[in-house]
């Protein structure tokens, strides 16, 4: 089933075209990162997907529905979290917000209780249920926002900068929960973020938007390959070793401690980490190794540079 479908989608403001003939689709169960620089058109796209903004022209369907004309139907099938906006009642205890949202979505009493209890347990929010939302920490509030968005078990979860401002531990908790939730329920995820750690850990596919247009649609590995980004094999050797600058299809980046640790860059389309390791092991004793994946932020910068933005 196609959860999101856009074709030649356009949104104009007075002096700006925020979204320019955008075309992409997302199938049920996919986890998609929607990334780009500030002002690239990400939030505008989300607002059109959810019926907040009307497209200037083009085609958009969310869960098979027309967002502007069928907003209530879309709201029943989509959960949304905006990192800078709240759907919770600021002065009420957290449990009251959940109860109100359950009523809005017309959940039965038993269904609402079961689903709320499950989310509270999984997101470790039990001690905060009696706390007014205004008194929650940022990490606690974001967990509550995600629980609120998932309360009615939507087909599609849209997260717009959900981890902005969170500490490392809070980010990790949210990421682990989202992975488990998708694995259990098959929820489709569309994630916009500037935190590439979110994309790497949560998304199997990435869309890069640049000045309202789609610049890339594929996997993270494919994104890195598009701009020539390379993987790096970090090799720890048993004895001091001369520079490994003659290993085929690799490039020596640096050598430390008389060659005990050396870093070799390679193109994953030209060779593999196993092949590189085999060639090194045939000459020297290897004690340990790690693989450094391409830095996604650097990959995105390269795409912008290639398009003349950076």
In a domain, 306, yes or no: no
* Whether residue 133 is found in the same domain as residue 187: yes
In a domain, 304, yes or no: no
* Residue 13 in tokens: 């403001």
Q: Spell out, as residue ranges, where the chain has pLDDT lower than 50.
A: 310
* Whether residue 17 is found in the same domain as residue 133: yes
Element (H, E) at 179: helix 168-185
The range of the structural domain enclosing residue 169 comes to 2-224
Task: Give the C-alpha distances (Å, rounded to integers) separating 253 from 191, 256, 259, 304.
Answer: 34, 10, 12, 25
pTM of the model: 0.81
* Whether residue 65 is found in the same domain as residue 192: yes
- Residue 67, C-beta contacts closer than 8 angstroms, at least 6 positions apart: 48, 49, 50, 51, 60, 61, 74
The pairs formed by 175-183 with CB atoms below 8 angstroms and a separation of 24 or more are 175/201, 175/202, 177/122, 177/123, 177/143, 177/146, 178/146, 178/202, 180/122, 181/122, 181/150, 182/29, 182/31
188-192 and 156-160 as β-strands: parallel, antiparallel, unpaired? parallel
CATH number, domain containing residue 272? 3.30.70
* Whether residue 196 is found in the same domain as residue 273: no
Residue 307 is predicted with a pLDDT of: 64
* Whether residue 161 is found in the same domain as residue 260: no
In a domain, 132, yes or no: yes
CATH number, domain containing residue 197? 3.40.50.300
* Whether residue 158 is found in the same domain as residue 48: yes
Residue 196 is predicted with a pLDDT of: 79
* Whether residue 205 is found in the same domain as residue 126: yes
pLDDT in tens, 150-182: 999 999 999 988 887 788 888 888 899 999 999
* Whether residue 100 is found in the same domain as residue 153: yes
* Whether residue 128 is found in the same domain as residue 25: yes
Residue 179 is predicted with a pLDDT of: 93
Residue 95 is predicted with a pLDDT of: 96
Task: Give the C-alpha distances (Å, rounded to integers) separating 56 from 5, 72, 118, 125, 268.
Answer: 16, 21, 41, 42, 42
Q: Give dist(CA 40, CA 28) in Å, integer.
A: 25
* Whether residue 246 is found in the same domain as residue 109: no
Q: What is the DSSP letter of 86?
A: -
In a domain, 310, yes or no: no
In a domain, 82, yes or no: yes
Domain count across the chain: 2
Q: How many CB atoms lie within 10 A of CB 195?
A: 19
* Whether residue 24 is found in the same domain as residue 167: yes
In a domain, 309, yes or no: no
In a domain, 26, yes or no: yes
* Whether residue 28 is found in the same domain as residue 71: yes
């Amino acid at each position: 089933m196609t959860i999101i479908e856009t074709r030649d989608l356009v949104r104009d403001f007075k002096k700006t075209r925020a979204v320019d003939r955008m075309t992409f689709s997302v199938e049920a169960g996919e986890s998609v990162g929607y990334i780009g620089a500030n002002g690239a058109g990400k939030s505008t796209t989300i607002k059109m997907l959810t019926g907040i903004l009307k497209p200037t022209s083009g085609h958009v369907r969310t869960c098979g529905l027309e967002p502007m004309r069928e907003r209530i139907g879309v709201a029943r099938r989509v959960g949304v979290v905006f990192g800078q906006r709240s759907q919770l009642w600021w002065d009420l205890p957290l449990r009251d917000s959940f109860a109100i949202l359950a009523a809005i979505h017309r959940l039965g009493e038993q269904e609402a209780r079961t689903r709320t209890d499950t989310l509270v347990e999984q997101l470790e929010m039990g001690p905060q249920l009696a706390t007014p939302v205004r008194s929650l920490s940022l990490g606690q509030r974001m967990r509550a926002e995600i629980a609120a968005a998932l309360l009615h078990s939507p087909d599609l979860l849209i997260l717009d900068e959900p981890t902005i401002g969170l500490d490392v531990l809070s980010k990790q908790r949210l990421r682990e929960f989202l992975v488990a939730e998708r694995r259990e329920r098959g929820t489709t995820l569309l994630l916009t973020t500037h935190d590439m750690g979110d994309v790497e850990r949560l998304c199997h596919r990435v869309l890069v938007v640049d000045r309202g247009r789609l610049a890339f649609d594929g996997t993270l590995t494919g994104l890195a390959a598009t701009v020539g980004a390379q993987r790096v094999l970090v090799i720890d050797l048993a004895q001091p070793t001369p520079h490994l600058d003659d290993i085929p299809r690799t490039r020596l980046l640096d050598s430390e401690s008389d060659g005990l640790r050396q870093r070799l860059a390679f193109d994953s389309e030209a060779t593999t980490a196993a092949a590189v390791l085999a060639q090194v092991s045939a000459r020297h004793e290897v004690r340990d190794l790690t693989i450094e994946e391409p830095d996604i932020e650097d990959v995105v910068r390269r795409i912008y540079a290639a398009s003349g933005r950076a």
